[in-house]
């Protein structure tokens, strides 16, 4: 059976090693789902695939062993899953409309984890609504706190939860627990001065150890307008020049992060190498070519950063550099 592999990929199916067979990619934004979806995925795998399901490194599913001729049927079967996850879809019944922007990864967040500073699933779904579908190759990951269980520094956009600690001196009993745990488990951003804790705002990474370990709730998490994040840029793996993402802005808000991501789509559309293999070029390579200052001009266009946000400048990425050697 002849098939256009480019269209196959844009419909979120994979080209596999087995001739005539494909694998369906199932998006799960934020990695959180109703258990009913697991039953539907298993049902598709048993009826139309080879009976197995692969949990991907990006928290989605791949259902292998699907004959090419069954792709329309699989797209029909995927529709209830797409509806339940409220994924944007221009045409119902035709499955996923793009595979460029990868599934958005997130740790379990503060619905379960006491260390997490925010609801990662809710923010992941909000980003999903803003960016999907899109053919450009973006990788976005969210983690609830600086423990970085989601390894966000290995993505184009890494979003790390921060707690803006709020201190109520009337509840403080000068026990020193906040200073001790900040020193032992974090960056020693609190010191005791005249038996009272003093927070170094510049040094603080917003981990929330002071909040978690205060016995009297003298320290609490900032909510609402005080809900903030650290945004890292352009980490990558792969064969050529892998590297970790660098801090771009700390104490940034959700609206600004989404605007920066959307601005980056415009930047990439302007500067992407149209002759790149497969029509794809990772954003980091484009920034390497145009220079960070040009990217920054595009990224911050129309962005209203909140009070206290800190923009890092300039940015330099460090990593493995492969060079040709002549013997």
Q: Which residues of 70-105 are buried (b: 16+ CB within 10 A; e: fewer)?
A: bbeebbebbeebbeebebebeeeebbbbbbbbbbbb
Q: Please give the average per-residue pLDDT across 214-220, as a whole number.
A: 95
For tokens 């266009």, the residue is 301
pLDDT in tens, 130-187: 999 988 889 999 999 999 999 999 999 999 999 989 999 999 999 999 999 999 999 9
pLDDT in tens, 289-303: 999 999 999 999 999
DSSP state of 243: B
What CATH number should be reported for the domain holding residue 208? 3.30.70.20
**Does the pLDDT at position 31 exceed 90?**
yes
**Does the pLDDT at position 57 exceed 90?**
yes
**Does the pLDDT at position 225 exceed 60?**
no
Q: What are the CB-based long-range contacts (under 8 Å, 24+) for 294-303?
A: 295/264, 295/267, 298/263, 298/264, 298/266, 298/267, 298/270, 299/248, 299/260, 299/263, 299/264, 299/267, 300/260, 300/263, 301/263, 302/259, 302/263, 303/256, 303/259, 303/260, 303/263
Query: What confidence score (pLDDT) does residue 218 get?
Result: 96
Q: What share of the chain is helix, strand, coil (3-state, %, to 5)?
A: 35, 20, 45
| CA angle, residues 190, 193, 194, in degrees to nearest 5 | 150
Stated as kind and residue range, the H or E segment containing 289 is: helix 283-290
Give domain status of residue 144, yes or no.
yes
Q: For residues 141 and 236, state if they share a domain.
A: yes
Q: For residues 133 and 251, state if they share a domain.
A: yes
Q: For residues 169 and 301, state if they share a domain.
A: no
Give domain status of residue 267, yes or no.
yes
User: Residue 70: which residues within 8 A CB-CB, separation 6 or more?
Assistant: 48
> How many domains is the chain partitioned into structurally?
3
Q: For residues 12 and 66, state if they share a domain.
A: yes
Q: For residues 269 and 294, state if they share a domain.
A: yes
Query: What confidence score (pLDDT) does residue 29 get?
Result: 95
Round to the nearest angstrom and report the end-to-end CA distance of the chain: 47
**Does the pLDDT at position 96 exceed 80?**
yes
Residue 185 has which token pair? 């488990």
What CATH number should be reported for the domain holding residue 63? 3.30.70.3340
Is the preceding peptide bond at 314 cis, omega within 30 degrees of 0?
Answer: yes
Closest CA to 145 of 228, 234, 235: 228
Give domain status of residue 235, yes or no.
yes
The residue among 221, 241, 262 that closes a domain is: 221
Q: For residues 207 and 305, state if they share a domain.
A: no
Residue 99 contacts residue 9 (beta carbons within 8 Å): yes
Q: For residues 202 and 66, state if they share a domain.
A: no
Query: Helices then strands (H, E): number in the chain?
Result: 9, 14
Q: For residues 26 and 125, state if they share a domain.
A: no
The residue among 84, 116, 138 that closes a domain is: 84
Query: What confidence score (pLDDT) does residue 188 get?
Result: 96
Query: What confidence score (pLDDT) does residue 299 get?
Result: 97
Q: For residues 185 and 247, state if they share a domain.
A: no
Q: For residues 126 and 146, state if they share a domain.
A: yes
**Does the pLDDT at position 324 exceed 80?**
no
Q: For residues 29 and 145, state if they share a domain.
A: no
Give domain status of residue 323, yes or no.
no
For tokens 């415009």, the residue is 266
Give domain status of residue 324, yes or no.
no
Query: What confidence score (pLDDT) does residue 258 get?
Result: 97
Residue 196 contacts residue 174 (beta carbons within 8 Å): yes
Domain of 27 in residue numbering reads as 5-84
Residue 121 contacts residue 106 (beta carbons within 8 Å): yes
Give domain status of residue 92, yes or no.
no
pLDDT in tens, 191-213: 999 999 999 999 999 999 999 99
What CATH number should be reported for the domain holding residue 233? 3.30.413.10
Q: For the whole model, what pTM was predicted?
A: 0.92
Question: Higher model confidence: residue 2 or residue 113?
Answer: 113
Query: What percentage of the chain exceeds 90 in pLDDT?
Result: 77
Distance CA 229, CA 156 (A): 16
pLDDT in tens, 237-290: 888 889 999 999 999 999 999 999 999 999 999 999 888 776 678 899 999 999
DSSP 124-156: HHHHHHHH-S--S---EEEESSTT-TT-GGGSS
Q: For residues 253 and 112, state if they share a domain.
A: yes
Give domain status of residue 325, yes or no.
no
Distance CA 281, CA 321 (A): 18
**Which of the four pLDDT bands, split at 50, 70 and 90, describes residue 39?**
very high
**Which of the four pLDDT bands, split at 50, 70 and 90, describes residue 84?**
very high
Query: What confidence score (pLDDT) does residue 224 get?
Result: 56
Give domain status of residue 282, yes or no.
yes
């Amino acid at each position: 059976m002849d098939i256009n592999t480019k269209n196959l990929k844009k419909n979120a199916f994979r080209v596999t090693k087995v001739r005539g067979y494909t694998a369906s990619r199932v998006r799960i934004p934020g990695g959180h789902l109703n258990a009913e979806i697991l039953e539907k995925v298993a049902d598709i795998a048993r009826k139309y695939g080879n009976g197995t399901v692969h949990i991907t490194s990006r928290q989605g599913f791949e259902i292998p062993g699907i004959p090419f001729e069954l792709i329309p049927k699989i797209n029909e079967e995927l529709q209830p899953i797409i509806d339940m996850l409220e994924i944007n879809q221009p045409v119902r019944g035709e499955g996923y409309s793009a595979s460029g922007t990868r599934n958005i990864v997130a740790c379990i967040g503060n619905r379960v984890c006491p260390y997490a500073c925010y609801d990662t699933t809710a923010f992941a779904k909000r980003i999903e609504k803003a960016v999907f579908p899109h053919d450009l190759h973006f990788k976005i990951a969210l983690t609830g706190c600086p423990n970085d269980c989601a390894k966000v520094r290995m993505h184009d956009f890494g979003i790390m939860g921060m707690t803006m600690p709020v201190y109520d001196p009337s509840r403080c009993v000068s026990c020193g627990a906040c200073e001790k745990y900040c020193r032992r488990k974090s960056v020693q951003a609190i010191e005791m001065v005249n038996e009272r804790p003093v927070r170094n705002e510049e040094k603080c990474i917003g981990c929330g150890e002071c909040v978690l370990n205060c016995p009297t709730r003298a320290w609490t998490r900032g909510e609402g307008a005080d809900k903030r994040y650290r945004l890292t840029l352009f980490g990558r793996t792969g064969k050529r020049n892998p590297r970790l993402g660098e801090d771009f802005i700390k104490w940034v808000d959700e609206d600004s992060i989404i605007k920066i991501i959307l601005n980056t789509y415009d930047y990439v559309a302007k500067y992407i190498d149209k002759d790149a293999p497969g029509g794809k070029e990772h954003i980091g390579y484009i920034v390497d070519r145009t220079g960070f200052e040009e990217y920054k001009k595009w990224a911050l266009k129309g962005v209203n950063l909140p009070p206290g946000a800190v923009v890092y400048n300039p940015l330099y990425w460090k990593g493995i550099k492969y060079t040709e050697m002549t013997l």
